[in-house]
Amino acid sequence: MKKGNFWRELSTPLFVQAPMEDVTDTVCRQMIARCGRPDVFFTEFTNVDGMFSEGKEIVTQRLKFTEIERPLVAQVWGANPDNFYKAAQYIKELGFDGIDINMGCPQKDVIKKGLCAALMNNRSLATDIIEAVKDGAGGLPVSVKTRIGMNTIITEDWLGFLLEHNLDALIIHGRTVKEMSQVPAHWDEIAKAVSLRARSKKDTVLIGNGDVKSREDGLEKIKESGIDGVMIGRGILENPWVFNTDEKYKNPENVSSSERLTTYAEHVRLHQETWGNTKHFDRLKKYMKMYIRDFPGSSEIRAKVAETRNAEELVLVLDKDEREDD
């Protein structure tokens, strides 16, 4: 069955879950959906070259998903346009709703290889990759997530280049590669993309990314910049209920310690059901600050969690403290 372009079908303003390496797997996305679903979900970063290597079984774990996570975009990165083409075909066959090309990752080892954000300096390869994904995607919407420059801000030059490629969506992180996440996001630069789109007469959906910590904050940034929506990443790690529209969840402190601990225990159990022992247990500890924060005794419980050695011990700690809270 041919999929439509979900970016066009959704009502604005849009709230989008950011792809986060080694964090936003299918289990994490399902838990975000339970806490309060965004309008769009994204996978972790998936390497197209690894998808067709000896280690493909491990790489393609990133593309595991359930129906509750729709609409879902697979984010990909890599070096070889031919592999981007094959990856896009494979992603369409799996039933994803869209494909996003990572042209924003600022990690030094990736930049040294001329990949992701470094494609700003290799426009011919960037073009080849976009065209390869479009050709392989078979009509699925194609987007790009990027930044506003390498060492200096080049918003109009770089985003203008991308808009000429008739992308279905463009996600803009309002910092340069050099800035990483060490300075406030330049939302004035993100706003420039709206003017660029108008001048180019394109209908690309524009999503802003950077320092959005709450739904209310996102709505304010959307209003001020004129952007179609916002993407939230680190805000999820501080509040998994960040997308929830219920009045109760506007203030994270309204979420009881009991609800937090119960939800974390559900996350652990779902992780075990989904992955078993195929992923290292310590990965589960990464999520503790998502749930165990902003209530009396949270630091003591985090200390207990840090000492656990397996999922069973972790669930016991969470269940015990949840009962004591009652």
Residue numbers annotated as active site: 105
Cis geometry, peptide bond prior to residue 13 (ω within 30 degrees of 0) = yes
Residue whose C-alpha is closest to residue 159's, from 202, 99, 128: 202
Contact 165, 142 (CB under 8 A): no
- Report the distance separating Cα 251 and Cα 214, nearest Å: 9
Residue with tokens 């078979």: 138
- Torsion angle of C-alpha atoms 110, 115, 116, 120, degrees rounded to 10: 130
Q: Are 324 and 296 in contact (CB under 8 A)?
A: no
The two structure tokens encoding residue 134 = 């479009």
Amino acid found at 90: Y
Would you say 101 and 73 are in contact if contact means Cβ atoms under 8 Å apart? no
Spatial separation of the C-alpha atoms in residues 249 and 252, rounded to whole Å: 6
User: Any residues with CB less than 8 A from the CB of 9 and at least 6 apart, and which?
Assistant: none
